[in-house]
Amino acid sequence: MRWIKRLVVGTLSVILVLVALALIVPFLIPTSTYKDQIETRVKAATGRDFKIGGELKFSILPNLELSARDVSFSNRPGAAQKDMVKLKGLDLKLKLGPLLSGRFEIEALDLIEPELVLEVDKDGKANWQFDTSVGTPGTRPPAPAKSAETAAPTKKPAAGPSDILATLQVETLRIQRGKVIYADVRSGARYEIAKVNVVISLPGGRSGPFRFAGDTEYKGKSVAFKSELKALGDLTSGKSSPLTFDLGFDLAKVSLAGTLNPSPEPNFSGALKVDIPSLKDLLAWLDKPMPQAGALGPIALTANVAGSQGGVTLSEIDTKLFGGAANGRIAVTTPGGKTTVAANVTLKGLDGHAFLVAVGATDRIAGTLNATANLTGTGSDAKAIQSSLNGTSSFQFANGALRGYNLAGLFRAIGDIKNPLQIIQQVKAAVESLNKFDPNQKTDFSELSASFRATNGVFATSDLRMAAPLVRVEGKGTISLPASALDMYLSVKAVPTLQGQGADFAKLGIPIPLRVHGPFSNVSWGLDEKGLGDEIRKKAPDLIKEQILQKPGDLLKKPGDILKKPSGILDQFRR
């Protein structure tokens, strides 16, 4: 996430400034004027106030030591917080011997209870970006101009970060009980991490590894982390370097191992491993509760990852979830300030009911799920991405059930046919029963499948099929994610072997045309009466053959008349 990258960059920037100050300040000014001169020179260099409100101690033997209490470094003008950095204390121990030969070897640097505030203003400018051209007016009046003969030799430019790294070694840099706050005025985002304890080391100088490890408390849990960059010097000189990172606590473990490349733009490629015992518990801890995620079970993910400022791609994904596996590739990029998600994934052997419940789709379909999706969407938020999805997808549920509905019972509800004029009304009344969801009812099936083409978040199919022991279903229609609604036309047909009530209608082989439509949360079942009339008309000869008119005197003296009178029964069937 972008805020994490900014938090890391901002934190490291401030640490480097503090290290540089701790190294340089003791050699610039007399001991008797340390406080005032340090504060003045820091402001001249950064344009911001630097205060040492407490005791300041300095000693040279046996090692060079500097100790300061109640230290603060002001924020940029107009920032929400007065200070960008506050420290209860700073203790530096620098080896004197290596210093005499031009090498900086820090034995220990302790930052005690530091509080770091990282802010991005409404214009996108970060408070860790220093305007070094701003000095302190009046602190150093310009010297009179000198002639060419008397002009002093040109001074060498101050050492840059890479020059300092070339001669710097750090045995231990400790951050004790720190606090980090990140805020972005543009989005309103605000994150706070407290009780941060970090140990940083650069034991081999520029040619050695850069290591940091520690723990922090976030939302009541202790989170441990560690990382190692094999060769910091290679990175600063434009070469790649191996990088590892591990983060873990009781709700999740994340491991990353790969290579960090500084050019042509900073990028990373490597292997990712994630273990989540319970997604439900993790989301609840992050204040994004999803009760239905309890059906998910443990998640184990491995993938190759490639990331840069332009986005992140996960490839060769292998994830164990819902009792099955997910494989494929997912890319997230940010062209033009918007987010584009491109996914090409395959699901195999998942618990379909648990999956649909977890993603908030429906709890009314169960079975073993196999599915594919090759979709792309772009937008400024999740809803916009969902509404722009284009591509293809398919699913197949095996050995499952449609919960709450008994489609075989639909035919039994029709009952025996005594009066052809009443067929449509009998079927209509039976279909109405489907609008009363009954958790005790279900339609078992051996297969439920469909393929879709998505256009701007609307998924269209023409090959939906369900095979059940007593019924067969075919369908077509659309599922709209932007509208959170569906509109499907189904043809439900009973097998001829259906026994008991409804057997008369089943034997005729007349399919019942249904329209299933409405919002996901309140789907409505209805009968296509004209469609049913058309189907009955096709079967009129069979109605007579099967002697559906048990009492000819009730309607017609001669059953054959049902085919002869244009204003008769068939017109009624057509409605």
- Condensed to tens digits (0 to 9), the pLDDT of residues 489-513 reads 999 988 776 555 556 666 777 889 9
pLDDT of residue 296: 65
- Phi, psi (rounded to 5 degrees) for 230: -60, -40
Closest CA to 44 of 64, 29, 65, 55: 29
Structural domain includes residue 569: yes
User: Is the per-residue pLDDT at 151 higher than 70?
Assistant: no
Greater confidence (31 vs 133) lies with 133
pLDDT bucket at 562, cuts 50 / 70 / 90? very low
Min mean pLDDT across 16-30, 173-187, 266-280, 353-367 is at 16-30
pLDDT bucket at 64, cuts 50 / 70 / 90? confident
Rounded to whole angstroms, what are the CA distances from 393 to 64, 136, 347? 67, 64, 11
Q: How many structural domains compose the chain?
A: 2
pTM of the model: 0.70
User: Is the per-residue pLDDT at 381 higher than 80?
Assistant: yes
User: Is the per-residue pLDDT at 197 higher than 70?
Assistant: yes
Greater confidence (352 vs 546) lies with 352
User: CA-CA distance, 353 to 252, in Å (whole number)?
Assistant: 25
Helical residues (DSSP H) of 237-344, grouped into ranges: 279-285
Which one-letter amino acid corresponds to residue 243? L
pLDDT of residue 13: 64
Structural domain includes residue 367: no
What are the pLDDT digits (tens) for 385-438?
999 999 999 999 999 999 988 888 887 787 776 666 677 888 888 888 888 888
Helical residues (DSSP H) of 323-398, grouped into ranges: 352-358, 382-386
pLDDT of residue 106: 83
Structural domain includes residue 436: yes
Domain that holds residue 92: 1-130+162-207
pLDDT of residue 406: 87
The mean pLDDT of the chain is 80
Give the end of a domain, one of 141, 175, 207. Answer: 207
User: Is the per-residue pLDDT at 21 higher than 60?
Assistant: no
pLDDT of residue 336: 76
**Tokens of residue 363, six digits:** 């709890």
Structural domain includes residue 473: yes
pLDDT bucket at 457, cuts 50 / 70 / 90? very high
Structural domain includes residue 564: yes
With a pLDDT cut of 70, the percent of the chain lying above it is 76
Structural domain includes residue 370: no
Give the end of a domain, one of 207, 226, 261. Answer: 207
pLDDT bucket at 166, cuts 50 / 70 / 90? low
Beta strands in 250-323 (DSSP E): 252-261, 267-276, 299-308, 311-321
Structural domain includes residue 48: yes
Give the end of a domain, one of 190, 207, 224. Answer: 207
Sort strands 56-59 and 221-229 into parallel, antiparallel or unpaired: unpaired
Structural domain includes residue 337: no
